Structure formats: C-alpha cells, structure tokens
C-alpha cells in the first residue's frame, strides 16, 4: 500500500519536473543557437516576459491557445530583429545591452498588464494529449505520454537542433562564425545574415518559452518569470552549448523544482527550507561553470562584434 503511494508520488514528481523543464528548455535551446553563432543574449528573461504577456493577453481575448503561442513567437522575432540591429549593426556591448532588453521587457510587460488587464484573470491551459496505448501504460504513461503539446514541441526540438547544428550547411556556418568569423567570411559565408538568423530564431524560442510558461500557469503577473530567463542562459554553459546537454540541464532544474514543490505540498519541509533548496540549482550552475570553463571552450568569437577587415 505505502509502496504504491510512493510510486504515485515519484511518477507525479517526474511528470511535473518534465513540465517545469519545458520553458527552460525552449529558452536555452534558443540561447545556445545564438551563442554558437557568437552572440550572447542576456535579455532572454525580458523577451520571455513580453512573450508571456502577449500570449496571455491573446488567449484571454481569443480563447485560442495556439494564437497565444504564435503571438509569443512573433514578439520574440520582433525583439530578435531589434537585438540583432543593436549588437550586429551598432556593435553594442552584448552583456550590457542584454540587461537593457531585460529591463525593457520587465517594465513593458508589467505596464501592458496593468493597463489592459489589471486584475489577474486565469486562462485555461492546454489539455494533455492522449496517445492510444502509450498514455494508458502504467507508470510510464503518466510520466511521459500525458503532457500537453508544448512539452512535445520543446523536447522534439532537441534532435532537430542537434541535426541542424551538426549535419546541415546552415549549422556548419553558424558554428564556423561562432569560432572564426574572419575565416567564414573569407569563404563567402555572410556573418551578418547568419548571426541575424540565429538571434531571431533564438529570440523566437525565448518568446515561445514565455508563452508556454504563461499558458502552463494560466496566469500573468508582474515579473512572472522570476529570473527563469537568466537560469536558461546558465543552462547553455551547463550543457556546454549542445542541445542534448541543455536538455539534461533543463530536466535537472525542472526536477529539482518539482521535488521542492512536492515537499512543500506534503509539508515534509517548512516553507522557508524550500527557499533554501531553491538555491541549489544556481549553486550547481556556478560549480558547473567552474568545470565547464576548464573542460569545454566557449565559442571563440562569443560577444565579439565582427568588423570586416577589423
């Protein structure tokens, strides 16, 4: 009897960990692509917040969750073009300008929310998908096959991103430009166009991550992401710039969060101690950064603006 309860709790925790990992995964896959092309984007959290508000408001007005996702992506694309212009054309310092984008997103999403919504009204999240046979499997079914579509989109993007980066000409160009833009340029690869595309796709994914978060939580509020976008950036380093590594990192983060939530629900640990446990991911990341900095090398041209003949 107690065993089956324990199994239920573990299954529920893992399932919720996978759900919680999804926004991290989307955002950090996007950030990884941008960084592979040599551009650091610290504004992920701001882009997520704008995407989250856009999606929330769209769903509130239209009732269509897919429109919400599309609006999140579209807002990410707009911010991506803007970020590309300031970092690629105007060669702005990437660390600091990203903080500018973050503050803009933090303020703008709050402003629009207070002006056009005011009091929080819930929206209804995606229904879990139901796969024949698979979803009905004991244990595994609940763990893996009863999620909403956005979870499968996010995890489906991992092999896609790996394939694009490693097996396509575009991916080769992205990696070449992140390592040695001069050499890539001399071979006729457009540094500007490739970086623009990587930044735009990366920001679109950040916008989608925000949309997914707002829809999953069914709510928007000031600073909804609560620094999730910054953790997504850290996950890129944690995962050593590979889609699979980023996925593993996201899953660890999601699971830690799920375990903390579970403990809170069951009153195993007091509220204050769960705050202490929530420090763990950031501390793990700092330690991982020490290891990564020793073992793996970041893209050589990361944060360096490219000037032809410069």
Partner 1 sequence: MKSFASLFIPLCAVLLALAIGAVMLLALGADPISGYATMFGAAFGNLEGFSETAVKAIPLLLVGVGICIAFRTNVINIGGEGQMVMGALLATTVALTFPDLPPQVLIPLVLIAGAMGGAFWGAIAGALKAWFNVSEILSTIMLNIVAVQFMNYLLRGPLMDPAEVARGTGIPQTMRLSPNADLPILIQGMRLHLGVVIALVVAVGAWFLLWRTSLGYRLRAVGHNPDAARYAGISVPANITAALAFSGAMAGIAGAILVFGSESHRMVTDGSSTGFTGSAGFNGIVVALLAGLHPLWSIPSALLFGGMLVGANALQRAAQVPSALIIALNGLIVVFVVSSEYFKERLRPTVRVDSELETNLEENGDD
Binding residues vs partner 1 (CB under 8 A):
40, 42, 46, 86, 90-93, 95-97, 99-108, 110-111, 114-115, 222-223, 226-227, 230-231, 233-234, 237, 270-273, 275-276, 278-279, 281-283, 285-286, 289-290, 293-294
CB 79 within 8 A of CB 108: no
SS3 126: coil
Judged by beta carbon, residue 176 or residue 236, the one nearer partner 1 is 236
- DSSP letter at 250 equals H
Tell me which H or E stretch contains 303. none
Q: What residues have CB less than 8 Å from 97, skipping those under 6 apart?
A: 42, 43, 83, 86, 87
294 CB contacts (<8 Å, ≥6 apart)? none
Cβ-proximal residues to 181 (8 Å cutoff; 6+ apart), any chain: 38, 191, 301, 304, 306
Q: Shortest gap between Cβ of 144 and partner 1 (angstroms)?
A: 29
The smaller minimum CB distance to partner 1, of residues 11 and 78, is found at 78
Nearer to partner 1, 11 or 112 (CB): 112
Q: How far is the CB of 116 from partner 1 (least distance, A)?
A: 9
Please, which residue, 8 or 289, has the CB nearer to partner 1?
289
Supply the minimum distance, in Å, between the C-beta of residue 146 and partner 1: 31
Question: Which of helix, strand or coil describes residue 239?
Answer: coil
Tokens for 137, please give them: 């499997």
Name the minimum Å distance from CB 295 to partner 1: 11
Q: Which of 208, 164, 200, 166 is closest to 55 using CA atoms? A: 208
* Residue at token pair 């024949």: 132
Question: Which CB sits closer to partner 1, 39 or 144?
Answer: 39
Q: Which is nearer to partner 1, 91 or 130 (CB)?
A: 91
- In angstroms, give the least distance from the CB of 14 to partner 1: 23
CB 197, min distance to partner 1, A: 21
The sign of the torsion formed by the CA atoms of 158, 159, 162, 165 equals negative
């Amino acid at each position: 009897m107690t065993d089956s309860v324990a199994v239920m709790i573990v299954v529920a925790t893992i399932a919720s960990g996978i759900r919680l990992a999804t926004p991290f995964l989307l955002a950090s896959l996007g950030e990884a692509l941008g960084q592979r092309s040599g551009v650091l984007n610290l504004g992920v959290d701001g882009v997520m917040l704008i995407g989250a508000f856009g999606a929330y408001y769209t769903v509130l007005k239209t009732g269509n969750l897919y429109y919400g996702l599309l609006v999140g992506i579209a807002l990410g694309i707009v911010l991506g073009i803007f970020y590309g212009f300031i970092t690629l054309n105007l060669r702005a310092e990437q660390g600091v300008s990203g903080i500018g984008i973050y503050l803009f997103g933090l303020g703008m999403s709050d402003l629009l929310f207070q002006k056009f919504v005011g009091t929080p009204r819930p929206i209804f999240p995606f229904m879990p998908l139901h796969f024949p046979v698979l979803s009905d499997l004991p244990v595994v079914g609940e763990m893996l096959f009863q999620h909403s579509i956005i979870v499968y989109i996010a995890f489906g993007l991992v092999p896609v991103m790996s394939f694009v980066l490693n097996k396509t000409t575009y991916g080769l160009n992205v990696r070449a430009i992140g390592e040695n833009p001069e050499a890539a340029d001399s071979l006729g690869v457009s540094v500007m166009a490739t970086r623009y595309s990587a930044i735009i796709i990366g920001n679109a994914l950040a916008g989608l991550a925000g949309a997914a978060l707002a829809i999953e939580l069914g709510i928007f509020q000031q600073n909804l992401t609560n620094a999730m976008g910054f953790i997504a950036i850290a996950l890129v380093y944690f995962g050593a710039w590979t889609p699979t590594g980023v996925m593993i990192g996201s899953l660890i983060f999601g699971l830690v969060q799920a375990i903390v939530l579970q403990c809170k629900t069951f009153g195993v640990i007091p509220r204050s101690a769960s705050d202490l446990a929530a420090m763990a991911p950031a501390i793990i990341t700092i330690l991982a950064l020490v290891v990564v900095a020793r073992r793996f090398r970041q893209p050589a041209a990361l944060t360096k603006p490219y000037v032809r003949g410069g």
